[in-house]
A and B are shown apart, each in its own frame.
Chain A
Amino acid sequence: MSRVLVGVKRVIDYAVKIRVKPDHSGVVTDGVKHSMNPFCEIAVEEAVKLKEKKFIKEVVAVSCGPTQVTETIRTALAMGCDRGIHVEVSGKDYEAMGPLQIAKIFAALAKKEEASLVILGKQAIDDDCNQTGQMTAALLDWPQGTFASEVTIDGEKVKVVREIDGGLETIKISMPAVLTADLRLNTPRYATLPNIMKAKKKKIANMKPADLGVDMVSRVEVLRVDEPPTRLAGVKVETVDDLVAKLKANGTI
């Protein structure tokens, strides 16, 4: 029947204070607490729920990166995915990896695994790109249901309620399709210890981007990473005239 691919990304935990590397080439990641991107957790939960409701048969968790990402795949397996795929990317390729490269990998895997749905988080909390889902759909020429806050499968079609600036938009798209999960889609379940133990027995396949015919060359080069400028203290003024005088003095008006 149907198979779903779920993408999971290993990111620096949201509660950790980020530190820029002394050479300004990036942020410090060594030894820093990492966890699964919160939107990816929601995507996994949705996929597992669809499987529990018997709309789909198999959920495959996919992650791209160095060996550490297997921990993230294991968490997805503990939440209920059936098997995992680890696309090995390390070193310079990993640092330069962006949404386009991931989208190419997912497009290739979706075709290879004959997936009927690709479910991703709407964006990652480290780069906030919000591009991978959309790019994957474009490369596959599949319909996309992004910012999903409700997903219902109706035969060969998917009804998606999308969170947009103006409110909620309901669309019906045909499968195969790409969906990206927004915050209110569901509440992810915990990866409990018995499930982590069972997950150790589930298979994680290893492959390289080259095996999928994907070239990892990035057309984006990061020149420099800086901390945001320290916010200066505000100045309180007593009257409106004071305010106007200050704004004139600093050249704003």
Chain B
Amino acid sequence: MFPASRYSIQAQRCIRALKTVQAEHAPPQHYTWRRNCSSAVMPRITSHYTIFPRDKDPRWEGVEMERFADEADVVIVGGGPAGLSAAIRLKQLAKEQEKELRVCLVEKASQIGAHTLSGACLEPSALNELFPDWKERGAPLNTPVTEDLFSILTEKYRIPVPMLPGLPMNNHGNYIVRLGHFVHWLGEQAEELGVEIYPGYAAAEVLFHEDGSVKGIATNDVGIAKDGSPKDVFERGMELHAKVTLFGEGCHGHLAKQLYRQFNLRENCEPQTYAIGLKELWVIDEKKWRPGRVEHSVGWPLNRNTYGGSFLYHLNEGEPLVALGFVVGLDYTNPYLSPFREFQRWKHHPFVAKTLEGGDRIAYGARALNEGGYQCLPKVTFPGGMLIGCSPGFMNVPKIKGTHTAMKSGMLAAEAIFPKVTAEDPASETAGLHIPEYEDNLKKSWIWKELYAVRNIRPSFHNYFGLYGGMVYTGVFYWILRGKEPWTLKHAGLDSAQLKPAKECTPIEYPKPDGKLSFDLLSSVALSGTNHEGDQPPHLTLKDDSIPVANNLAIYDGPEQRFCPAGVYEYVPLETGEGMRLQINAQNCVHCKTCDIKDPSQNINWVVPEGSGGPAYNGL
């Protein structure tokens, strides 16, 4: 059609580009065919009572729905670093001032630490404030950082980048920890101080007073069958009422999502932006083990416009253990991208493979993390409650650390609450206490200064040069000017709105897993120890069951089958007739929350399943 020899070089390039675009663009009738078939009879997917209320459901007529209720002074949702630090601080203040305080903490995992996942290089600043004697108490901070490497990877080579002091990622003075073990230790300290900790019970519902303030929470009901009907063993959850309720559900909490809407907490901030982090633990050959070594990389296998990178930490806990993982920003645009497969592919890079060769993988997990920082901080107090930790999102993104700020936010919350909750007359306008002092304390603390200084680094990646533009920006404005520039850059908007339609993008050819360095998804999920009671409504609820095939599959080629790190979403052929349907394997879920974040139709609403379901991480 285009006799190439007759055109200039530029014209030839243009013609080649046009040909590629034509080849990728599927013929229109393909989509019409799919749209017709999605009106075929689809088996119902969602049966959860949050979508189909039980008061209108005839199967629930006459079932006793009364709940047992109990009162505490403070109820904390979530047994992570923030929740536990808040509980500990409250009890420490109670002990100092000789006052009585009932603090109850509910956690959906079967034991404290089982749903905790992080790199992690812990900056001990908050821990030093909480427990100055942490070493004597046996906190599992066994690996001080000794070496800090940063690389830009290309497909075969590695470009080392000097880790100068003052750069956000410099880890001098920090400890490599297994955060699950650290959180477990925090739980033990909390119990010793008298905090009532209830693992295995998920907070499923926020309770409100008549005046609209938060009254407390209700734990999950048990014994509902997969089709939404009551089983013989059905029992209602329990209500825990409190003067103040702290919500520390971690990144993208499901109750927090509800609270943002209820109290309009996000009207003056940008929508939160996220990344997904996947992690494995490996026992490696002793000869390759360098305890205390921290390695980070950017570049291959991601292209310069997809934010992400890797970490590899050598732990010092007896056996030659390394914690490694990969983070991919969820503002990626190509729906064919699979964060799990990028992670598996990265391990084959010569620089990484040489550490892992001859080793054994012993653990796997994944979790979403915050990338928004300062620009995305919502209002954190409301009548009857407050948000702490990664739930509002205090992670320092370029430092890749959020544990110290989460802990500090929990401690500040406790310090603001304590005088109010132990006062004879709380002098509150609402039945649930509103304590705006927490937000004031946050703004005066080092958390705020830290987050303000690094606020422009992540958004600086949104430029033509992507990663490299961002690195140059960091070098100039952070390393030299310490974040004092007078402007604040914006993020790109909602992560779920960033995907381009599948027809505009190229599918990515991922290598097959070799079973030695890289692995398939299902064997990885098995290593996470995740499980749920099978006979319960899927907790990945869809507002509209027909949208996945009509929208996600038709326009974006079903990105949820690729971004879910646990294989929950599968498009399978219909048993009768033509077309596909979405199958949700809820039992595999590792509670990472990526689907709720990245679903381009924002049709998936993750709600909490029966307590004690989910992954069984051990020191991840």
A interface residues (Cβ-Cβ under 8 A, vs B): 13-17, 19, 22, 30-33, 35, 187-190, 192-194, 196-197
B198–A22 touching, CB < 8 Å: no
Residues of chain A lying within 8 A (CB to CB) of residue B410: none
A16-B616, A193-B219 known; A31-B235 Cβ under 8 A: no
Q: Which of B110, B184, B223, B235 has the most CB of A within 10 A?
A: B235
B110 touches A31 (CB 8 A): no
Partner of B319, one of A16, A22, A189: A22
Segment touching A, from B243-251, B417-425, B526-534, B590-598: B526-534
A31 touches B233 (CB 8 A): no
What residues on B are CB-neighbors of A197 within 8 Å?
70
Tell whether, in the assembled complex, residue A193 and residue B233 are in contact, meaning their CB atoms are under 8 Å apart: no
A35 touches B235 (CB 8 A): no
Q: How far is the CB of A59 from chain B (nearest CB, A)?
A: 18
B-chain residues with CB within 8 Å of residue A194 when the two chains form the complex = 68, 70, 238
Asked if B526 and A31 sit within 8 Å, CB to CB, the answer is: no
Chain A residues, Cβ within 8 Å of B526: 17
Whether B222 and A33, one on each chain, are in contact in the complex, defined by CB atoms closer than 8 angstroms, is no
**Number of residues of chain B lying within 8 A (CB) of chain A:** 31
Q: B235 near A192 (CB under 8 angstroms)?
A: yes
CA distance A193 to B202 in the complex (A): 10
18 contacts between A and B (CB under 8 A): A13-B110, A15-B531, A15-B616, A16-B616, A17-B527, A22-B283, A22-B319, A30-B618, A31-B619, A33-B114, A33-B618, A35-B110, A187-B232, A190-B223, A193-B198, A193-B219, A194-B70, A196-B201
B140 nearest CB across to chain A (Å)? 10
Among residues of A, the one whose C-beta sits closest to the C-beta of B234 is A190
How many Å lie between the Cα of A194 and that of B309 in the bound state? Answer: 45
B362 interface hit (Cβ, 8 Å): yes
Structural contact, A32 and B68, CB atoms closer than 8 A: no
Chain A residues within an 8 Å CB radius of B238: 192-194
Q: Which of B170-194 contact A (CB under 8 A)?
A: 180-181, 184
Would B616 and A33 count as touching, CB distance under 8 A?
yes
Q: Which of A17, A31, A193, A196 contacts B181 (CB 8 A)?
A: A31
B561 CB to nearest A CB, Å: 23
- Give the residue name and chain of the A residue nearest to B233 (CB): A189
How many angstroms between the C-alpha atoms of A19 and B181 in the bound complex? Answer: 18
Chain B residues near A (Cβ < 8 Å): 68, 70, 106, 110-111, 113-114, 180-181, 184, 198, 201, 219, 222-223, 232-233, 235, 237-238, 283, 319, 362, 526-527, 529-531, 616, 618-619
B235: contacting residue among A13, A17, A190, CB under 8 A: A190
A192 surroundings in chain B (CB, below 8 A): 222, 235, 237-238
Question: B618 and A193: CB pair below 8 A?
Answer: no
- Given the complex of chains A and B, what is the CA–CA distance between A190 and B222 in angstroms? 7
Residues of A within 8 A of B233 (CB): 187-190
By a CB distance below 8 angstroms, the chain A residues around B114 are: 33
Inter-chain contacts of B232 with A (CB < 8 A): 187
Q: Which residues of B contact A19 (CB under 8 A)?
A: 362
Residues on B with beta carbons closer than 8 Å to the beta carbon of A14: 531
Q: Report chain A residues within 8 Å CB of B283.
A: 22
Given A193-B198, A193-B238, A33 and B529 contact (CB-CB distance below 8 Å): yes
Q: Which residue of A lies closest to B222 (CB)?
A: A190
Q: How far is the CA of A193 from the CA of B199 in the complex (A)?
A: 10
Known contacts A15-B530, A17-B527, A33-B110; is-contact A193 B319 (Cβ 8 Å): no
Q: Which residues of B contact A17 (CB under 8 A)?
A: 526-527, 529
With A15-B616, A16-B616, A19-B362: A33-B111 Cβ-Cβ less than 8 Å = yes
With contact pairs A187-B232, A190-B222, A194-B70 given, residues A31 and B618 touching in the complex (Cβ less than 8 Å): yes
When C-beta atoms are compared, the residue in chain A nearest to B109 turns out to be: A33
A170–B201 Cα distance when bound, in Å, is 40
Selected contact of A193 from candidates B110, B111, B237, B531, CB within 8 Å = B237
Specify which chain B residues have a CB less than 8 angstroms from the CB of A193 in the assembled complex: 106, 198, 201, 219, 237-238
Chain A residues with CB under 8 Å of B529's CB are 13, 15-17, 33
What residues on B are CB-neighbors of A187 within 8 Å? 232-233
Cα separation A197 to B71 with both chains bound (whole Å): 12
CB distance from A44 to the nearest CB of B (A): 13
Closest CB pairs A-B (n = 8): A15-B531, A33-B616, A16-B529, A194-B68, A190-B222, A193-B238, A31-B618, A193-B201
The smallest C-beta distance from B234 to any residue of chain A, in angstroms, reads 9
Which residues does chain B contribute within 8 Å of A190, judged by CB atoms? 222-223, 233, 235
- Of the residues B113, B184, B198, B616, contact of A196 by C-beta under 8 Å: B198
Min C-beta distance of B610 to chain A, whole Å: 8
Nearest residue, chain B, Cβ from A15: B531
A196 / chain B contacts, CB cutoff of 8 Å: 198, 201
- B156, chain A: closest CB distance, angstroms: 31
Closest Cβ–Cβ distance, residue B23 to chain A (whole Å): 36
Q: Find the A residue at minimum CB distance from B529.
A: A16
With a CB–CB cut-off of 8 A, which chain A residues contact B235?
A: 189-190, 192
Q: How far is the CA of A193 from the CA of B611 in the complex (A)?
A: 10
| Cα-based distance from A190 to B362 in the complex (angstroms) | 31
Residues from chain B with a CB closer than 8 A to the CB of A189 are 233, 235
Q: Pick the most buried of B70, B110, B219, B529: most chain A CB atoms within 10 A of its CB.
A: B529
Give the chain A neighbours of B198 by CB distance below 8 A.
193, 196
Pair A13/B219 contact, Cβ less than 8 Å: no
Q: Report the minimal beta-carbon distance from B299 to chain A, rounded to whole angstroms.
A: 32
Shortest distance from the beta carbon of A227 to any chain B beta carbon, whole Å: 10
Which partner residue on chain B sits nearest A194 by CB separation? B68
**Nearest CB on B from A205, distance (A):** 22
- Chain A's nearest CB lies how many Å from the CB of B358? 14
Query: Which single residue of chain B is at the shortest CB-CB distance from A200?
Result: B196
Distance in angstroms between the alpha carbons of A17 and B522 in the assembled complex: 13
Tell me which residues across on chain A come within 8 A of B106, comparing CB atoms. Answer: 193
Shortest Cβ gap from B286 to chain A (Å)? 11
| CA distance in complex: A15, B529 (Å) | 6
Partner of B113, one of A13, A15, A31, A188: A31
* With A15-B529, A33-B618, A190-B223 already in contact, 13 other A-B pairs whose C-beta atoms are closer than 8 Å: A17-B529, A19-B362, A22-B319, A31-B113, A31-B184, A33-B111, A35-B110, A189-B235, A192-B222, A192-B237, A193-B106, A193-B219, A193-B237
Q: Is the CB of A31 within 8 A of B180?
A: yes
- Identify the closest chain A residue to B587 (Cβ): A15
In angstroms, Cα B104 to Cα A194, docked, is 13
CA distance A188 to B232 in the complex (A): 10
Nearest CB of A to B230, in Å: 13
How long is the Cα–Cα vector from A93 to B233 in the complex, in angstroms? 38
CA distance A197 to B181 in the complex (A): 26
Minimum CB–CB distance from A86 to chain B (whole Å) comes to 18
